[in-house]
Amino acid sequence: MKRRRFSMSKSKVNLSQDEVKMLKKMYIQSWRLFGSFNMAKMQGYGYAQAMIPAIETFHKGPEEKKNALVRSASFFNCTYETAPFIMGINASLEKARSEHSDFDSDSINAVKASLMGPLSGIGDSIFWGTVRLIAASIGIPLAMTGNILGPILFLLIYHLPSAYTRYKLLYVGYTTGEQFLTTAFKSGAFENITYYASMIGMIMIGAMTAQFVGIKTVISIAMGSGETLVLQTILDNIMPSILPLTVMLTIFYLIRKKIKISTLLLGIILFGIFGAFLGIF
């Protein structure tokens, strides 16, 4: 297979023509990251669509393609600009999966989960917290005077760095991931990588639960001495965020029991309504 250097980097890493085409298609598809966004998978379906070129490149059988697509459609949530780096690494993992029969497929989602949080923190700080504010500080004063350059400059100042960063990180993620995985397989270190990536992924999921799942009870009991016993205070003393953790583990258990997401969402809504009506929340 003829190989050539991928033009968007000065790196000496040579990629095949199929890989070059694959990465370019992935970059175009990555613009649809928020396609079919929902609260169950968030960016999961858009992420899976961006991964289709890699799946088509590295997997030949229909069963392998189906399994890879299901893996790619798992829960995903990351800053728009830094997500392609994970896509690139994911593509290199799918390549390794197609080349090694003993490859642990669970490690692919473990790596994704471990990178979402850190890269979101970096991406949000740079693009949402810095680039966007710079673009707005330049564009808004011009727009307030009726100057058409206001919105144009805002879009250019924000989206040009955004588009280039996403383009570059996709390539870097794929090439560094491929090189790293090759070395890891030769040294036998991949099992340790999978183990620690899984640990980090679980930590990130726990942190996201504490941050995004907010449940507090308003139940209080009047004591004979005139004092009021606040149940939420007692629960916080036992373990902070114990109610969100309990709800998350319950939902996880029901998902493992193959309960439909739509049924779970409806159940959560009804639980919240009746809980508020009964004075629990």
* DSSP-derived secondary structure for 132-152: HHHHHHHHHHHHHTT-THHHH
List the structure tokens of 74: 């798992």
94 within 8 A of 108, measured Cβ to Cβ: yes
User: Kindly report the CA angle at 275 between 272 and 278, in degrees rounded to 5?
Assistant: 150
What is the end-to-end Cα distance of the chain in Å, rounded?
A: 63
Amino acid at 30: S
pLDDT in tens, 2-49: 454 444 444 456 788 889 999 999 999 999 998 888 878 889 999 999
Using CA atoms, how far apart are residues 97 and 139, in angstroms rounded to an integer? 47
Using CA atoms, how far apart are residues 80 and 97, in angstroms rounded to an integer? 26
Which neighbouring-strand residues pair with 38? 42
Q: Is 275 left (phi over 0), alpha (psi -120 to 50) or beta?
A: alpha
* Phi/psi of residue 148, nearest 5 degrees: -65, -20
Strand 14-16 relative to strand 3-5: parallel, antiparallel, unpaired?
antiparallel
Using CA atoms, how far apart are residues 153 and 150, in angstroms rounded to an integer? 5
Q: What is the DSSP letter of 131?
A: I
pLDDT at site 96: 86
pLDDT at site 84: 94
| Residues in Cβ contact with 191 at an 8 Å cutoff, skipping those fewer than 6 apart | 104
Angle between helical axes of 149-187 and 83-99 (0-180°, round to 10): 30
User: For residues 131, 134, 136 and 139, what is the CA-based torsion angle, rounded to 10 degrees?
Assistant: -120
pLDDT at site 183: 61
Q: Which residues of the chain have pLDDT under 50?
A: 1-2, 4-11
pLDDT at site 7: 45
* Phi/psi of residue 14, nearest 5 degrees: -100, 135
pLDDT at site 209: 66
User: Kindly report the CA angle at 204 between 199 and 207, in degrees rounded to 5?
Assistant: 130
pLDDT at site 6: 45
Using CA atoms, how far apart are residues 223 and 227, in angstroms rounded to an integer? 5
Using CA atoms, how far apart are residues 170 and 110, in angstroms rounded to an integer? 19
17 within 8 A of 4, measured Cβ to Cβ: yes
